[in-house]
Amino acid sequence: MEKDLKALGIKVEKKKEFDVYLVRQDFPILHRTVRDKPLIYFDNAATTQKPKIVIDALVNYYTNLNSNIHRGVHYLSQAATTEYECARRIIKTFINAKHEEEIIYTRGATEAINLVAFSYGEAFLSEDDEVLISHMEHHSNIVPWQIICEKTGAKLKVIPIDDKGELILDEFDKLLSERTKIVSIVHISNSLGTINPIEYIIEKAHKVGAIVLVDGSQSIQHVPIDVQRLDCDFFVFSGHKIYGPTGIGVLYGKKDLLEKMPPYQGGGDMILSVSFEKTIYNVIPHKFEAGTPNIEGAIGLASAIRYVQNIGLDVIYDYEMELLNYATEKIKQIPEVKIIGNSKNKASLISFVVENVHPHDIGTLLDRDGIAVRTGHHCTEPVMRRFGIPATSRASFAFYNTFEEIDVFINSLKKIIVKFK
């Protein structure tokens, strides 16, 4: 696995021993029951569960630190500010950004993409420019670019995918030109599990003068990220995907680009001076953080990152690949089930369809056995149309899942199939 990670341009950390049953003790929700059955949570691509250390960080903030940040001279305000900015430093180190001010807090990856589209895009795109995305993008990495292209007259181009769910790189090379100004690409597909060759994409895009945004919503929790090594111009992710709170996300951007971009929103904290005649904007990162932020969310996210670092993302990756391979082999033994997305390089999720059974029925009946999976189009309707299906069921695994849980899931799935025969 280490060789696979290096081939994808992913930083490899020193291996640590891993005990899934010990790890599970850190997650209170994993010990509850659902419909009188032990909870089996296979919906991790939608959101991950939270370790007690993150829950405790949120409780501690509201119990001991609750105050607004940056402007207060009193003790609580200064203490909250210290924790909030310490979280920024932790995130900066985690993804190996060059400067702290390159870390912008957002509500999530969706807002981060919108920020770049509407700030950078509106300022620097013009008629006949092109924005390049892929066929496997989440709606959050499609719709903002559609809107900004309509506003600026730029054209949206789409990299096609093949039957395995992989980008057709020859077509990507053909689409690239001097008219390409932005490439916005998902690192790992949330509906197919495909791990895209983003180093190759970034290098090629830069050769034609394009900037690259990487949507790391599904990669930040699975593989080590080094934004300097990748040389991406922007990288976005959501805290709730990496065992942190909802409502907090991160936009990483290269300092020189962020400094050129106009503010995305106006309000408190993003200004240095305001008069009715003229407003002087604050420096980055504050220029893009208008209003009272999600203070406890940032602190909770930092706590989640420390937790993940303590385990080691290389350890997490290896274990999750074992889960993926085990579940894949089990599912392949069921003739009525078809896996959608069979990329050679894949993250720990399986989208599948069952012959003559609607995915929503699969999800509902699995839930009766306490098994949580996601059903639907997963905010990737173009992917569903590409494969000629309305929806899939999706089981997505995290490092706190077990092989025994997969066995229960497989047995439950087999029973459902029998019911519909």
Residues 75 and 97 in one domain: yes
386-408 pLDDT, tens digit per residue, is 999 999 999 999 999 999 999 99
**Is 86 marked active-site?**
no
Q: Is the pLDDT of residue 301 over 60?
A: yes
C-beta separation of 84 from 299 below 8 A: yes
> What is the pLDDT, as a whole number, of residue 275?
85
Query: For residue 397, what is the domain's CATH number?
Result: 3.90.1150.10
> What is the pLDDT, as a whole number, of residue 215?
98
> What is the pLDDT, as a whole number, of residue 357?
95
Question: What does the block give as tokens for 156?
Answer: 């949206």
Short-list 189, 194, 184, 303, CA closest to 236: 184
Residues 225 and 141 in one domain: yes
> What is the pLDDT, as a whole number, of residue 11?
52
Q: What is the mean pLDDT of residues 167-177?
A: 98
Residues 302 and 341 in one domain: no
* pTM, full prediction: 0.94
Residues 74 and 209 in one domain: yes
26 SS3 class: coil
Weakest-pLDDT range from 11-15, 126-130, 138-142, 302-306: 11-15
- What is the residue whose two structure tokens read 């850190």? 26
Residues 101 and 68 in one domain: yes
Q: What percent of the chain has pLDDT over 70?
A: 96
193 SS3 class: coil
Residues 325 and 189 in one domain: no
Task: Work out the angle at residue 332's Cα, subtended by the Cα atoms of residues 330 and 333, and round it to the nearest 5 degrees.
Answer: 70
Q: What is the mean pLDDT of residues 271-293?
A: 89
> What is the pLDDT, as a whole number, of residue 10?
53
Residue 225 is part of which domain span?
A: 54-309
174-214 pLDDT, tens digit per residue, is 999 999 999 999 999 999 999 999 999 999 999 999 999 99
> Which residues make Cβ contacts (< 8 Å) with residue 346, sequence separation at least 6?
192, 193, 194, 195, 324
Residues 171 and 318 in one domain: no
Q: What is the mean pLDDT of residues 58-76?
A: 94
Residue type, 2: E
Domain boundary among the residues 309, 324, 340 is at: 309
How many residues in total does the chain contain? 421
- What is the residue whose two structure tokens read 């054209």? 155
374-389 pLDDT, tens digit per residue, is 999 999 999 999 999 9
Q: Is the pLDDT of residue 337 over 70?
A: yes
| Long-range contacts at 62-70 (CB < 8 A, ≥ 24 apart) | 62/296, 68/292, 68/295, 69/293, 69/295, 70/269, 70/286
Q: Is the pLDDT of residue 3 over 70?
A: no
Q: What is the mean pLDDT of residues 218-227?
A: 98
Q: Is the pLDDT of residue 16 over 80?
A: no
Instruction: Quickly list H helices, 339-402.
Output: 359-367, 381-386
381 SS3 class: helix
Domain boundary among the residues 275, 309, 343 is at: 309
Torsion angles phi and psi, residue 231, rounded to 5? 65, 25
Residues 231 and 90 in one domain: yes
Mean pLDDT of the chain: 95
144-163 pLDDT, tens digit per residue, is 999 999 999 999 999 999 99
Q: Is the pLDDT of residue 14 over 70?
A: no
Domain boundary among the residues 309, 343, 358 is at: 309
Residues 276 and 322 in one domain: no
